[in-house]
Structure 1
Amino acid sequence: MTTRSAQGTCAEFAKTITECDINGYAGITGDFNPVHINDVYAGATRFKGRIAHGMLTAGLISNVIGTRLPGPGTIYLSQNLTFTAPVKVNDTITARVEVTEPPTDKGLTHLKTTCTNQDGTLVLDGTATVIWPR
């Protein structure tokens, strides 16, 4: 059985978001919203340039949950997200997961999930419910 971590245990993963990441995500999902892929269109928006798909950023949380904390074998039950700031090409995003309560006897637990950019700006805030791996 995987060791169950105590409340407050954290893990992180950082990645610089590239143009290739954004275009690849658009191709995989079919989400070709011009705010993500069209420089001219995106330049005329409130963001003044292209932004990454919110779910691309959220996917970095999945990396932490599935590979670091709780890790391989985790069952992802739910995720609540609030996107708090845009992510732009070449932003370095750090996804962080924190255990907010010890897992129950059946392994159920809640996690605080956040993503910040290279300036420390919170770009995503949320919570996840998972079953700890056995």
Structure 2
Amino acid sequence: MTTIREQASRGLKQGDAFTITRTFNERDTNVFGEISRDMNPIHCDERFAAAKGLRGKICHGLLVGGMITEIGGQIGWLASGMNFRFRRPVYFGDTITCVFTITEADERNRAKADAILSNQQGEVVVEAWLTGVLPGQAERAILAQT
């Protein structure tokens, strides 16, 4: 069991924060493009990326933003809303750190969270605002067993 899941099985509250890191590569982007059918040439054609003023092909914003679903899956978060602001491109080889913080939680387990995703230079690449439902006592017991 991961430490994130262990914390979730004990219960979550406002102020709890989780951090993960991932390095993105061209294969990730190609697979995501196939799954999402987003074949924008900015992800797969150097000439097009250069014409846009970029230093190379870039990862899909939702692929990078999807890091929040790794944390959400570990804590048993049932998403009801996600809003993203894509601040900077993510290039192949960039290492992204995602910090997911629960900003509100009520007695019915409805919650809000913020996520800040930054590259290896500390530059914010994605900001996200989330709403969802935290696991209740029965779900936490199951999380503790997985």
For normalisation by structure 2, the TM-score amounts to 0.83
Give, in whole Å, the separation in 1 of the partners of 2:44 and 2:71.
Answer: 27
> Where in structure 2 are there 5+ consecutive unaligned residues?
1-7, 137-146
> In structure 1, what is the equivalent of residue 85 of structure 2?
82
- What amino acid is aligned across from residue 92 of structure 2 in structure 1? V
1:14 paired residue number:
21
The letter for the 2-side match of 1:119 is Q
Q: In the aligned structure 2, how far is the partner of 1:10 from the partner of 1:4?
A: 13
Provide TM-score, normalisation by structure 1: 0.90
CA contact (8 A) 2:72 2:78 kept: no
Q: Aligned match of 2:37 in 30, 35, 39?
A: 30
Instruction: Give the helix-richer structure, 1 or 2.
Output: 2
Large movers: runs of 4+ above 6 Å: none
Aligned to 2:98: 95
| Structure exhibiting the larger radius of gyration computed from Cα positions | 2
Alignment of 1:1-134 (within 5 A): 2-67=9-74, 71-72=75-76, 74-101=77-104, 103-134=105-136
Deviation at 1:7, TM superposition (A): 2.3
Q: Secondary structure at the match of 2:131?
A: strand
Report deviation, 1:105. 1.5
The CA RMSD over aligned residues, in Å, is 1.4
Task: Note the C-alpha offset of 1:5.
Answer: 2.5
3-state DSSP of counterpart to 1:55? helix
Q: In structure 1, what residue type is equivalent to 2:122? A: G
For residue 66 of structure 2, give the secondary structure of its aligned residue in structure 1. Answer: helix
Percent identical among aligned pairs is 29
Contact in 2 for aligned 1:93/1:116 (Cα 8 Å): yes
SS at match of 1:63: helix
Residues 84-123 of structure 1: per-residue CA shift (max 9 Å, x gap) = 111000000111100112x211100100111100111000
Any gaps of 5 or more consecutive residues in structure 1? none
